[in-house]
Amino acid sequence: MSAADSVRASSRWATRSIPIVLAAAVGYATYVTIYRVCVRYLIREQRNVGPAIAILVFYFLTLLLMSAAYFRTIHMINTDVPLVPLGPLAVERRAQANEKSQKAASSRDGDLESQPYYAATDSNPNSPGLEQFYTKTAFVCENDGRPKWCSECCNWKPDRAHHSSEINRCVIRMDHYCPWVGGMVAENSFKFFTQFCMYTACYCGVVLGAAGSTLKKKINEGAVLDPHLVAILAIGGFFGLFTFLMTTTSWRYIATNMTNVDMIGARKKVYQVAVRIPRGAERPEKYHTVTYPLPMVENSCDGAANGAASSPRQPQRDDLANRTFAILKTEPGENPWDLGLWRNWQEIMGSNILDWFLPIRRSPCVNHDNDESFYRMDKMLKQLRERYGIDGASADETDRMELREIQRNIT
């Protein structure tokens, strides 16, 4: 079982059996549309070749696009799920669990109450992974300014990462677990999933149009009703309505740069964002600050932290690496990643119009090489800085000055 497989046996069986159901539905639709509608009725009985050719062209075009998007989605879900790495403690715990019998392990799958729970955040100031946060300009944080922590994976969670109870792993920009496409839909497969839903709705529309028009003509002619036409109308109507609703929902998420998980309680949700402030800037009382790297502290004999540094003062080059962040709060319902309709669309679907329709290239949002944040939030950052009186231009100038100072020290 791979790391992205469901921990529930019922979900795994559904994931394996649904492709057979879909293949059977497509095969039956092909038989009805191609043979019973086009060949048998339009060409042989009606001698009407033009409409038959039109139906065939649209049918195979939508079938090709639907199949390409479906297999592209499955490929991404099974080969490149964006999982947050497990922390050392989580790796040790799971290795110990794997040594036990399969029966005992399966009885605990999905039952979090039967598993040991480690709620404490890693208190080590040099905790592995922290540097990927404080080297950014902004990141989502807790009250103390540290990133969010997953007690199950024992690791820091990047922005928009959520723990999935379905696969028992943290997933970056998780949307939902979908057995129809074989697993977890997340940042690198959401685009292809949306294209699959769209093309499936179009495919069902072609099938419904061909079968519906043929059935209507047969009724007008007083001919015996073809039960296959009635059956395919029911099947096509079900899948067509389902995928149409999924398509419109996905478009809504793209337009607002949200996910299914982000939408939960979105109207009242408040985010805390650690935003870098310039070196030496005044610190108003309306927000708290945190400085990275976190200081090392010593414990007294009674175990209390005395606040003294456990190591000598850092050299100048290390001091230059210190960064101070203001812990700011958004208003209820504000979306930190809303860049506007057009840029939201580009983040998922790409800037090239061919990428909107062809399931080839991945979404631009999967590239996390932006120095500002894990996901672009420049619009919200500007609003937060203005709201709390933070000079963003001074922070940028501080970066440039520190870089020049480090370069002089190196040379």
In this structure, the answer to whether residues 226 and 285 fall within a common structural domain is no
Question: Does residue 103 sit within a domain?
Answer: no
Cα(325)–Cα(137) distance, rounded to whole angstroms? 8
In this structure, the answer to whether residues 225 and 348 fall within a common structural domain is no
Question: Does residue 205 sit within a domain?
Answer: yes
If you count them, how many residues does the chain have? Answer: 411
In this structure, the answer to whether residues 284 and 253 fall within a common structural domain is no
Question: Does residue 163 sit within a domain?
Answer: no
| Structural domains of the chain, count | 2
Question: Does residue 131 sit within a domain?
Answer: no
In this structure, the answer to whether residues 323 and 381 fall within a common structural domain is yes
Question: Does residue 14 sit within a domain?
Answer: yes
Which residue in 263, 262, 259, 238 sits closest to 193, CA to CA? 259
Question: Does residue 312 sit within a domain?
Answer: no
Residue 149 token pair: 């922590």
In this structure, the answer to whether residues 281 and 356 fall within a common structural domain is yes
Cα(292)–Cα(31) distance, rounded to whole angstroms? 65
In this structure, the answer to whether residues 31 and 71 fall within a common structural domain is yes
What's the pLDDT score for residue 306?
36
Cα(206)–Cα(170) distance, rounded to whole angstroms? 39
Q: Are 203 and 40 in contact (CB under 8 A)?
A: no
Q: From its phi and psi, is residue 170 left (phi > 0), alpha (psi between -120 and 50) or beta? A: beta
In this structure, the answer to whether residues 360 and 259 fall within a common structural domain is no
Final residue in a domain of this structure, among 218, 247, 263? 263
In this structure, the answer to whether residues 286 and 211 fall within a common structural domain is no
In this structure, the answer to whether residues 275 and 393 fall within a common structural domain is yes
List, in sequence order, every residue forming a beta bridge with 276; answer none if it has no partner. 325
Measured CA to CA in angstroms, residue 362 lies from 94, 290, 366 at distances of 32, 36, 7
In this structure, the answer to whether residues 259 and 272 fall within a common structural domain is no
In this structure, the answer to whether residues 280 and 251 fall within a common structural domain is no
In this structure, the answer to whether residues 332 and 227 fall within a common structural domain is no
Question: Does residue 150 sit within a domain?
Answer: no
For every one of its 411 residues, what pLDDT tens digit does the chain have, with 9 covering 90 and above?
566 778 888 888 888 899 999 999 999 999 999 999 999 999 999 899 999 999 999 999 999 999 999 999 999 999 999 999 998 888 888 787 777 644 554 454 444 444 554 557 888 888 888 999 999 999 999 999 999 999 999 999 999 999 999 999 999 999 999 999 989 999 999 999 999 999 999 999 999 999 999 999 999 988 888 999 999 999 999 999 999 999 999 999 999 999 999 999 999 999 999 999 987 777 677 889 999 988 875 543 333 343 334 444 444 445 556 899 999 999 999 999 999 999 999 999 999 999 999 999 999 999 988 889 999 998 999 999 999 988 766 555 555 555 555 455 555
Question: Does residue 204 sit within a domain?
Answer: yes
Cα(200)–Cα(202) distance, rounded to whole angstroms? 5
Domain that holds residue 351: 266-292+317-410
